[in-house]
Each structure stands twice: as C-alpha cells, then as structure tokens.
Structure 1
C-alpha cells in the first residue's frame, strides 16, 4: 500500500513535468530532488525523470554511485541487465517498468543502510539523446522508545537512558527549572544491527524529593524531537517501587544503600515525540 501511494505520487509529478517542460523540449534527464534521506526499515525511491521515449527498445538506464562508478542498476534491450551490478545492491533494486514509457527512471532501493549514503548518478539514453543527473542519498533511523533505569547511591541517584537510532543525536538533560544539567553520553555500534547506533546517556542527581528531569533527543535528518520527563515522588509510607508507565524501567540498589528498595519511589514517565523540521 505504501509503495503504491509512493508510485502514484511520483507518477503525478512526472506527468506535470512532461506537460510543462518536456513538450517540444530537447532531451533531458532530471532528478526530482538533489538530496533525500532514506529511512531505516522503509524502501527509498530515488526519483529520476527523462523525456518520454518513442520506444522502450531504445532506452538505456544506468544508476551508478558517483564516488566509485559502481553499478547500482542497469536496464537496456527492454529488460533489466544486472550482470555487472555491484554485489552490495543485488536483490535490493528495481525500476518501475510500467512507468518507463512515461519517462520514469526512478529507482526503488530496498533495505537502505549506512553503506548506501553518498552520490547517485541517473544516466538515460534513447534515440532522442543522452543525459544524466546526480543526487545524494542520506540515511537515518528513528530513535526507539527509551529504556530508563535508576541506580541508587548513598546520597544521589543516577538516571540512565538507552535507545537505538541513527545518526548520533543531540542530547540534552534539563532540570525542573529548565536549566541544563551536566551529563555524560556515549554512542556505540549496535551489536544486533550494523545500521543502528546505541545511545547511552545518564545524569546524576543529588536527591529525588518531588523533582523531575527531562531528557531531549534530537535527530536532525528526520526532524525527530523526543522528550522524556521522569518525575520522582518520594513516599516514605510505601514499601516497594512503583514501575507503572509506557516504558521499560529497571531499578537497582548499590551496596550500602537501601533507600530505593525500602522507602519506595513513584516514577512518572511522560513522553512526547514529534517529527518535524528541526532548525539548522
């Protein structure tokens, strides 16, 4: 369904381009955007249009990487010709054959990853002429719902957050008065998926009596802004930790302290995630 919507979207654009630019004009190849971002887990469509050909038998389409001239996909003699295709792209590329007669040379790239970033060249040749156009492909992954853990010390608590996404995000911890808090963060390669990074960040606070802290994670390529506020309500009448909420929480007591385990702590985890344009 998503792919069909994308195809209809591209087709509408191609028809508009043909009517406004290609009617009676010289042969031309045009990418629909100079730069785009592929999203982890979704196919990417690299848009490319050319002057509609009189016959598909004369059409030669070649997609290459601009950095090293690797062949990503090729088409001629009315069919795909993938003998010289780079092994990195085998089984992952396709043209929209039903749209070729309209001048649609767009490439569908399945399972995009970090290794696919860079320049792509769309070259088309027909009986009307030869032309090419270049675009750049970026890559990003939405950061996952966080895992929160709390480590209790003798006189402080450490709040830890872990998530996965790509690329390395901007991280900020804020106190209850919106002040910036000193924190530490590290980004590691995700063991289970080489196309993701694991973010680990933490902040240490001196006490947790009716206070709250907010973590802000910004993934600029996707416009993802994720805010997670942890509110701690100390209740000396409780005898256990209340771990309710739509998040993963683990509470740990280090040797020499029983405050978290014996007094009780109510943790409220407020979530807000938005996908929008992030100012550069």
Structure 2
C-alpha cells in the first residue's frame, strides 16, 4: 500500500523537475534580437524599436530596461515588478515611451517611441538583467521639406537672372544643389545654413542663370543619411533675358501692391490740395469778416454822436447783430480748428489704408458744406447790414428835415 501511494507522487515530482529544467534550458538558449539595420524616423512620427526573445520566454515578471548610450538621458523605460517605474525615466521621454504589455508573455519587449524629436537620435540598448541579455537598436531621425524658388534680381554683368532657393525644416543638415535641364550641377553661391530652436535646419542659396543655360532650372535639397530628397523646378522665360540685354533691368512687374501704393499716393496728394484750397477760401472769408467788423465799428462811432431815441434803438439792434456776427466768427474759428485737426490727421496717417483716406475725404466734404453754409449766412448778414445802413441813412435824413422845420 505504501509503494502504491508513493509512486504517483514521485511521477508528479519528476514531471515538475523536468519541466523546470526545460524552462531553465530554454532561458539559457534564448537570445535578444533587435534590428541589424538602423531605424529611420521622421520628426513627429511614432515608431517602434524592435526587441524580442528567441525562443520566446515570458518576461512579464522580469526587470526590463531601455537605455541610451548617452549618459544623460540614460533610462528611457524601466519595467519592474510588472509595472513601469516612472521616476526612473528621463523627463524628456515622459509620456512618449511604452511597451506592449500584452505581448510580454511572448518575449516581445519592443519599445514604442511617440512624437520623435531630433534629440532622440542615437543608439538604444534593450537589456534583461536576469537573463543577462542585451540588444542594440540604432535610431536615425530626419526631417525634410520642399524647397521654394524665387526670382531676386538681375545680374547685368553676366546678362542673367538671379534665383534664390530656400528650404525650411530639415534634419540632419542637408546639402543644396542647382541643376540644369540636363541634370548638370550649376556653379552657385555658398549655401547659407541656419539652425532653429527646434533643431531643424533652414538652407538657402543663390545662382545666376545665363542665356547659355537651359530655361528649366532645378533646386535639389538632399540628406543622404536619411535617404531624403526634395526638389523644385522653375522655368525662366526668354523674355527675361531679352529684356535684361536691352535695358539692363528686369521686366516691369504687374504686382498689384505697386499700383495700390501709386493710387494711394495720388489720392493723398489730391486730399492735400483740397485742404489747401479750403484753407485759402477760409482765409479769404476771414478777411471779409474783419472788414465787416471795421465797418461796424465806424458806424457805431458815428451813432455815438446822435442822441435821439430812435438812433439808440437802432444801435441796440446793431449791437445784437454784432454779437451774432461774433458768434459766427467763433464758429468759423472752430471750423479752422477742425480743419487744422484734419490736416494733422492727414499728416500722421499718410501711410494708412484706403478706408482712412475715404474718411478724411468725408470730413473734408463736411467742412466744405459747413463753410458754404457759413458763407451763405455771411452774405445774408451783409445784405441785412446794408439794409440797416440804408434805414439809418433814411432816418438821419428825416431827422434833419424835422430839425430844419422846427
């Protein structure tokens, strides 16, 4: 009975021992496999750095480390006790690295890197301390953008046109080439390179295209490390060369900004002329008003010699009319002040847009209308004054006749 009961237990224990030995044997034979070729990524992309065990072994409970060859930052991702150690990760990788946790049991410890930056470029190490297995993956980061060609001027010495090519947003630093229609490299000026705060490069270069060259010119920007090439072609018409030979300058531009500036300048000149005309008319009216005031003063002096009751009443009326005239003068002075304000506004906003110019024209028109109304009122007052003078003259005659009769 004892032998029968011990037999199954021995068999079960033997199976477990053999199973554990097989697992340990597999662990000893498993190797970490990365990538023999560099992984090329574009700035802003999400990429995967491959790393897995062959044969597959469950590594979910093991410690896993992703590091870089650069001591700062070193730790990119650390997995321990079935969870990520966030505090061990360098801040520059925060929220951008992760593992495929569902595939850890199959020995897949590939690293997902999101929103790749130029600074991420380098060699990464995948390491399992328990198995003492290491694998390396090299990451190349690149960025490319299409170039833009523009016509910048004329070279009178060579009877050619000057083209400029610029391309923004490259990494690593690219090279720029000028090619003719046959693919031959043109001799151009030095390439200017600027590196921005985002670590991306901007390159630009100029070339003089002569009549002997073909009309189709290509600007090519390339980066061999990331195997990226961008190019743009431009066609230079024969008219450019013909016009340059005859006059030594580029063909006239039909650019609308130049026409707009010319119209704006003409409009401003017209407004200045209108303002000067209004000022001249206003000054002329002021001289007439002063003459009227002098005439009124002379007339008032004559009335002082008369002591009759009728003359006193007329004097009172004339004084009232004089007050009205003074109010008109003050009103005209106010108009002058407004005109001065308009003129100052015109000087300050010589470079403003058409809307402001139209507003100035409206103000000038209002001033002209107000001036016309003032002129009409002045003429009316002059007529009334002449009438009053005639009445006074008649009253004086009547007074003299009565005096003689008495």
Given the two structures, how large is their TM-score scaled by the length of structure 1?
0.68
Q: 1:61 aligns with which of 43, 57, 64?
A: 64
1:171 and 2:172 aligned: no
- Give secondary structure in 1 for the equivalent of 2:119: helix
Q: Alpha-carbon deviations, 1:128-159, whole Å to 9, x = none?
A: x3311122222111x21222211122523211
Separation in 1 of the partners of 2:165 and 2:155? 21
In 1, distance between residues paired with 2:70 and 2:222?
Answer: 30
**Deviation per residue, 1:45-97 (Å, 9 max, x gap):** 1110025334622x211001123171110111111112111112111111111
Aligned length: 218
Q: CA deviation at 1:220?
A: 1.5
Tell me, what secondary structure is at the counterpart of 2:125?
Answer: strand
| SS of alignment partner, residue 221 of structure 1 | coil
| Counterpart contact for 1:235–1:263, Cα < 8 Å | no
Counterpart position of 2:153:
152
CA distance in 2, matches of 1:54, 1:95: 14
Distance 1:30 1:60, change over 3 A: same
Structure 1 residue 45 corresponds to structure 2 residue 45: no
Kindly state the Cα deviation for residue 108 of structure 1 after the two structures are TM-superposed: 0.9
Matches of 1:226 and 1:73, distance apart in 2: 35
Match of 2:278?
A: none
More strand by share: 1
> Cα–Cα, structure 1 residues 209 and 65, in superposed 2: closer, same or farther, change >3 Å?
closer
Cα 1:233–1:54, aligned 2, differ >3 Å: closer, same or farther? closer
Is this contact kept in 1: 2:149–2:165, CA < 8 A? yes
Match of residue 91, structure 1, among 95, 100, 103: 95
Q: Which residue of 1 is the match for residue 252 of structure 2? A: 261
1:162 maps to 2:166: yes
1:36 matched to 2:39? The reply is yes
The residue aligned with 1:243 is none
Asked whether the 8 Å contact 2:35–2:136 carries over to 1, the reply is no
Q: Tell me if the contact between 1:65 and 1:121 (Cα under 8 Å) persists in the aligned partners.
A: yes
Q: Is the 8 A contact 2:180 2:214 kept in 1?
A: no
Alignment partner of 1:186 is 2:192: yes
CA distance in 1, matches of 2:77, 2:139: 15
What is the Cα deviation at residue 171 of structure 1?
A: 2.4
Q: CA deviation at 1:29?
A: 1.4
Kindly state the Cα deviation for residue 188 of structure 1 after the two structures are TM-superposed.
0.9
How far apart, in 2, do the equivalents of 1:185 and 1:90 lie?
37
**Structure 1: tracts of 5 or more residues without a match:** 1-21, 237-255, 265-280
Q: Which has the larger radius of gyration?
A: 2
Distance 1:64 1:259, change over 3 A: same
In structure 2, C-alpha distance between the alignment counterparts of 1:210 and 1:182, rounded to whole Å: 14
Once the 2 structures are TM-superposed, how far is the Cα of residue 167 of structure 1 from its aligned partner? Answer: 1.6
- Against the structure 1 CA distance between its residues 60 and 52, is the aligned structure 2 distance closer, same or farther, given a 3 Å change threshold? farther
Q: Which has the higher helix share?
A: 2
Q: 1:104 to 1:113 in 2, by over 3 A?
A: same
Label 1:257 to 1:116 Cα distance change in 2 as closer, same or farther (>3 A).
same
Would you say the 8 A contact 1:47–1:105 is kept in 2? Answer: yes
Distance (Å, rounded) in 1 between the aligned partners of 2:214 and 2:134: 63
What's the C-alpha RMSD, in Å, of the aligned pairs? 2.9
SS of 2:236's partner is: strand
Q: CA deviation at 1:122?
A: 0.3
What's the offset of the Cα at 1:219? 2.0
CA distance in 1, matches of 2:194, 2:199: 11
Equivalent-residue separation in structure 1 for 2:129 and 2:150 (angstroms): 58
Q: Larger RCO: Structure 1 or Structure 2 (Cα < 8 Å, ≥ 6 residues apart)?
A: 1
Deviation at 1:231, TM superposition (A): 1.1
Q: Which residue of 2 aligns with 1:71?
A: 75
